Structure formats: structure tokens, C-alpha cells
């Protein structure tokens, strides 16, 4: 899968308010991650809805889940997050050459 495809999938997953809130909460939680019940309690999201949103984030490669007994721990995949950020900023301020007569928007 190309970097642009991975990045577009990640951004599409984050393009929903609930998933963005979940992802930001997991970023705040850091490496220890959070249990599904903790995420639902903090954000007020019903378990079935939360499972759907977490599944989308996992499929997009942004979140990893580890089963610990009966609990599922959710963590941000930090290398994946950094790949998205690096892709978005890799050509920052590199300049753009416009054809004669064109103006930048």
C-alpha cells in the first residue's frame, strides 16, 4: 500500500467527530492505552457505537488493540501517526513553481 493510500485512509477515519475524539483521547493516554469501557465512559459513547468506531481506526492502521484477559486495551500506533504527519509536512515550504500567468490561491 502506498503512503498516499495509507494517509488518505487514516485521514478518512479521523474525519468523523467521534473517531477524532477517540483518537485524541488515546493520544492523551499514551503508551498504556485505555480499556474500551474507559473510552466509552470518558466520551459518553455507547458500547456498540464505540466498537464500530474503534474498528474503523484499527482498520485505518491508527490504533492497535491488545487483549488482556477479558479486557481490550486500545493504543495509538505512534509510528503510523508519525508517518501520516511526516507525509503531510514532508514538503512544507518547499515552494511551488507556477506556470506563467497563474496565481496561487
The set of cell numbers assigned to 39 is 473510552
Give the helix ranges, DSSP H, for 1-91: 3-14, 17-29, 36-43, 47-59, 78-89
**pLDDT single digits (tens) 12-40:** 999 999 999 999 999 999 999 999 999 99
Residue 71 sits in a domain whose CATH number is 1.10.10.10
3-state secondary structure of 16: coil
pTM: 0.86
On whether residue 102 sits in a domain, the answer given is: no
The count of domains in the chain is 1
* Model pLDDT, residue 1: 67
On whether residue 69 sits in a domain, the answer given is: yes
On whether residue 101 sits in a domain, the answer given is: no
On whether residue 104 sits in a domain, the answer given is: no
Domain extent, residue 38, equals 3-87
Contact in structure between 73 and 39 (CB atoms under 8 Å): no
Amino acid at each position: 500500500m502506498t503512503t498516499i493510500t495509507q494517509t488518505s485512509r487514516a485521514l478518512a477515519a479521523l474525519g468523523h467527530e467521534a473517531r477524532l475524539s477517540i483518537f485524541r483521547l488515546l493520544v492523551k493516554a499514551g503508551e498504556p492505552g485505555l480499556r474500551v469501557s474507559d473510552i466509552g465512559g470518558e466520551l459518553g459513547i455507547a458500547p456498540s457505537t464505540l466498537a464500530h468506531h474503534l474498528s474503523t481506526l484499527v482498520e485505518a492502521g491508527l490504533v492497535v488493540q491488545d487483549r488482556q484477559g477479558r479486557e481490550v486495551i486500545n493504543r495509538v500506533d505512534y509510528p503510523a501517526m508519525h508517518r501520516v504527519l511526516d507525509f503531510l509536512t514532508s514538503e512544507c515550504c518547499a515552494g511551488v513553481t507556477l506556470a506563467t500567468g497563474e496565481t496561487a490561491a
